Amino acid sequence: MAPSRDSLAASPAATPCDSASLSSSIVFLDNGAGDIKCARVPSDHFSAEDIREAVGAAVRIPNAACRPRVEVPGVPRRAGNVMYGSELRSCRDFSEMSFSRPHQRGYVCSWGLELDIWSHLLNNEQAVDAQGTHRNAIITTAPCFNPGHMIHAESELVFEYLGFQRYVQLTSQAMPAFAASTSSHACVVLDTGFSFSHAVPVIDGRVIWRAVRRLDLGGKALTNQLKEIISFRAYNMMRDTAVVNAIKERVCRVSPHYLAEIALENKKPRSRRYTPTPDYMLPDATTGYKDPLGFVIDPANVPTLDPTAQTLALTNEKIFIPELLFSPSDIGLGQAGVAELVCQAVEACSAHLPPDEAMRLRALLYGNVQVVGGNSLFPGFVKRLLADMRPLVPAEIKLQVLRAPDPQLAALEGSMFFTQQWMESGRPLFVSKAEYDEFGPNVCYSRFQSLA
Amino acid sequence: MDEAAAAAAAAAAERNSRKRKRKIAPRVLLAQVDESARLEARQRRLDALESDDVVAAGENDDEYEPDHASEDDYSDDAVVGAIVGKSKKKSKANSKPSKAASVSTTQKKQPSRQKQPVRRAIEAFNVPLDLVLAEEAKRAAVEGTTECTYEHARALPSRFPARRICSVCGFQAPYTCVRCGSRFCTVQCGVTHDETRCLKFTQ
């Protein structure tokens, strides 16, 4: 589908401020609250092949200034002993590492910190490598309903501090609708990420803003809840966020029938209920395991384990933690779970339509539910979502829930396809430095409003 | 007849209500907390789940304060130039009265001045999210786009009643705490709940 480079280069609408002398790579930066996903394409006119290559080489770093307990050799000395991004790879001790994050409930609130993280990313990561090249264009993402204040701040950061020439900000939750795996005209994106979960209906490339629904529960709250439970039942791990997060990602799973499963467990006598089989080997700095975050214990290997090693046995919290996404009322959050969230979004979409049209729209949307975001990586998530949604959806409607091949990179990939389509159509996408200097941050705000 | 019957019924109701009141143990009456306090405690717990695990100030060492000069290059923007320029002028002005004083001031102030400009200008945007969202809601109300706001997008409560899950161990819970309204499954969990969780919140 990609047109030849010559035809595009000849079109006058491509980019007004582009000149051949500038290096014309575009940096894509999916600014997630948990992880930044970043990649670069070589020029304005990129093909699907380029996109695949760029996504394959994408950098994924925590969006945080990390402070280890002890200094890590090889990391440049900074005040506060903070380290960024790929420097964590040389770190062998994640216990009691603290993370300062610029995001607060999903929105960037600490701009100085974000500036540090971004400039380190752009200067030091090999795959992005925007240090030597001329900083040409950057495409960032932000969550739905990003306030004008944040757009103002980010435009200033991008143009004045990082020195980019062109800039655009896209809505991260809408972008997976444009990724290669999504082919239909209408879909609902369920993005269950670090700070919150969104259900976003996208029809013909436009987001139905009034129907977007948000559940204020994400991976961070789940990690914190698990941290609290483990600290209460086993070891005090209140400050071992990184380790608990790894436990959450590796051990937790979504139960197909939570109540039935715990009822079964509950029938056992109390002494047998908490099975003594260890699930997880906690990291040990002295013996130095391969993985500094510890590892999952294979039940077959239990007898061979060192009896003095610190192991962790998890009981129902293995399924309780992901369960919160489906039933937030379990911790007293008065919002619907993810299955109902999708239904609420679809119903809001079709609320003002005559009955037969509403039915058709519903059928389109329910037929294409795209699941992205890190929480969808819990084993059994998609199956459970389907099972929970089925009774809520009219029986004659076919329900299909799909998970993106890599749920965490779907927004990055989608933003590349979106950019490609938008630039092919010849409509203005980027805000150039000249425009910014002329009209100020308001031009960014109105341009971004026109995009999705 | 009717009046007498009504009077008798009223008397019986009064007796009943008095009886019922007397039946509640004073211990329980004392313990009960009004709905707003329960809600607040629950909200605080939920807010605690959103918190970052950052070492409290002064516990490890100073506040997060990266030095910029050594590492990352920012593009040469006007703000930095202007403020650094100013600081130089000031130090010159200071150097007139006495040499010793000027040395001390420049040595003390210059590192902090070097740091400040880059941080200060962008950090003016560090506004608490609540304020930003309130402002945004006001703007939406003026523009008539209240359907497309952060507030409007919040998920509605579930159509189904909340499940009864023990707040301590995660199993099904038949009992409710009289004080805070959260659930617990056994006496053991109830004791734990009273000791560590009831109307309390973590860190």
SS3 letters across A315-333: CCHHHHHHHHHHCHHHHCC
- Considering CB atoms only, which of A67, A216, A340 is closest to B158? A340
**Rounded to two decimals, what is the model's pTM?**
0.80
The pLDDT of residue A237 is above 90? no
Strands of the sheet containing A295-296, edge to edge, are A295-296, A280-281, A311-312
C-alpha distances in Å from residue B13, one per residue of B4, B5, B20, B104: 14, 12, 10, 86
Q: Over range A58-66, report the average pLDDT.
A: 89
Question: What 8-state DSSP symbol labels residue A377?
Answer: G
Contact A441, A173 (CB under 8 A): no
Residue whose token pair is 């701040």: A153
Give the C-alpha separation, A115 to A444, whole Å: 19
Identity of the residue in A100, A120, A160 whose CB atom sits nearest the CB atom of B64 = A100
H or E element at residue A166: strand A166-171
> A162-194 burial by CB neighbour count: b if 16+ within 10 A, else e?
bbbbbbbbbbbbbbbbbbbebeeebbbbbbbbb
User: Is residue A182 within 8 Å of residue A367, measured between CB atoms?
Assistant: no
Question: Under CATH, which architecture does the A219-323 domain have?
Answer: Alpha-Beta Complex (3.90)
For the residues A353-365, what does the mean pLDDT come to? 91
- The alpha-carbon gap from A42 to the nearest alpha carbon of chain B, in Å, equals 22
Of A12 and A185, more confident: A185
A186-217+336-403 and A219-323 in the same fold: no
CB A76 within 8 A of CB A121: no
**Closest residue of A to B160, CA-based?**
A336
pLDDT at residue A191, rounded to an integer = 94
**Average pLDDT of the residues of chain B:** 68
Average pLDDT over residues A76-98: 79
- Whether A220 and B50 lie within 8 Å, measured CB to CB: yes
CB B163 within 8 A of CB A259: yes
Look at residue B188 and tell me if it is in a domain.
yes
Contact B70 A104 (CB under 8 A): no
How many angstroms separate the CA atoms of A229 and A232, rounded? Answer: 5
Which CATH architecture group holds A26-64+101-172+409-449? 2-Layer Sandwich (3.30)
* Domain spans of chain A, in order of start: 26-64+101-172+409-449, 186-217+336-403, 219-323
Q: How confident is the model at residue A282 (pLDDT cuts 50, 70, 90)?
A: confident
Tokens standing for B80? 């930095």
Strands A137-142 and A26-31: parallel
| Through-space distance between the first and last CA atoms of chain A, rounded to whole angstroms | 22
Which tokens go with A256?
A: 């197909």
User: Does B126 contact chain A (CB < 8 Å)?
Assistant: yes
Closest Cβ–Cβ partner in B46, B75, B155 for A161: B75
Residues of B in contact with A329 (CB under 8 A): 158, 162-163
Alpha helices of A63-147 — where are they, by DSSP H?
A: 111-124
Task: Tell me: pLDDT of B79 over 80.
Answer: no
Query: Do A54 and A64 contact (CB within 8 A), yes or no?
Result: no
Contacts of B36 (CB under 8 A, 6+ apart): none
Neighbours of A50 (CB within 10 A): 17
Q: Given this model, what pLDDT does residue B123 score? A: 82
**In this predicted structure, what is the pLDDT of residue A371?**
94
Task: Report residue A192's pLDDT band, with 50, 70 and 90 as the boundaries.
Answer: very high
List, as ranges, residues 17-76 from B with C-beta within 8 Å of A.
42, 45-46, 48-55, 60-68, 70-75
Enclosing domain of residue B177? 162-202
Residue B170 counted as domain residue: yes
Which of A:391-430 have CB within 8 Å of B? none
Mean pLDDT, rounded, for A96-111: 88
Residue percentage of chain B with pLDDT more than 90? 5
Q: How far apart are CA A290 and CA A295, in angstroms?
A: 9
Location of structure tokens 């005209």: A185
What's the token pair of residue B69? 């000069």
Task: Decide if A262 and B171 are in contact by the 8 Å CB cutoff.
Answer: yes
Q: Can you read off the two tokens belonging to residue A230?
A: 């483990």
Residue A78: is its pLDDT beyond 90?
A: no
| Chain B residues within an 8 Å CB radius of A79 | 62, 65-67
Interface mutation vs chain A, best among B147, B158, B167, B187, most A CBs within 10 Å: B158
> What ipTM, to 2 d.p.?
0.79
Looking at the domain A186-217+336-403, which fold is it?
A: Nucleotidyltransferase; domain 5 (3.30.420)
B6-B8-B10-B14 Cα dihedral, nearest 10 degrees: 180
- Please tell me the total count of domains within chain B: 1
Which of A60-74, A164-178, B147-161 has the lowest average pLDDT?
Answer: A60-74
Q: If pLDDT is split at 50, 70 and 90, which confidence band does B110 have? A: very low
- Out of A98, A119, A225, name the one closest to residue B49 (CB): A225
Q: How confident is the model at residue A398 (pLDDT cuts 50, 70, 90)?
A: very high
8 A C-beta contact, residue A241 and residue A223: yes
Chain A, nearest residue to B159 by Cα: A336
Instruction: Work out the mean pLDDT of chain A and round it to a whole number.
Output: 84
Q: How confident is the model at residue A287 (pLDDT cuts 50, 70, 90)?
A: low
pLDDT digit string, tens, across residues A22-34: 467 888 999 999 9
pLDDT at A274: 56
Question: Which range in A162-171, A176-185, A262-271, B55-64 is most confidently predicted, on average pLDDT?
Answer: A162-171
Instruction: Select the highest-mean-pLDDT range: A358-372, B21-35, B52-66, B73-87.
Output: A358-372
Interacting residues of A131 by C-beta distance below 8 A, sequence separation 6+: A122, A123, A124
Least CB-CB distance to A266: which of B51, B136, B172? B172
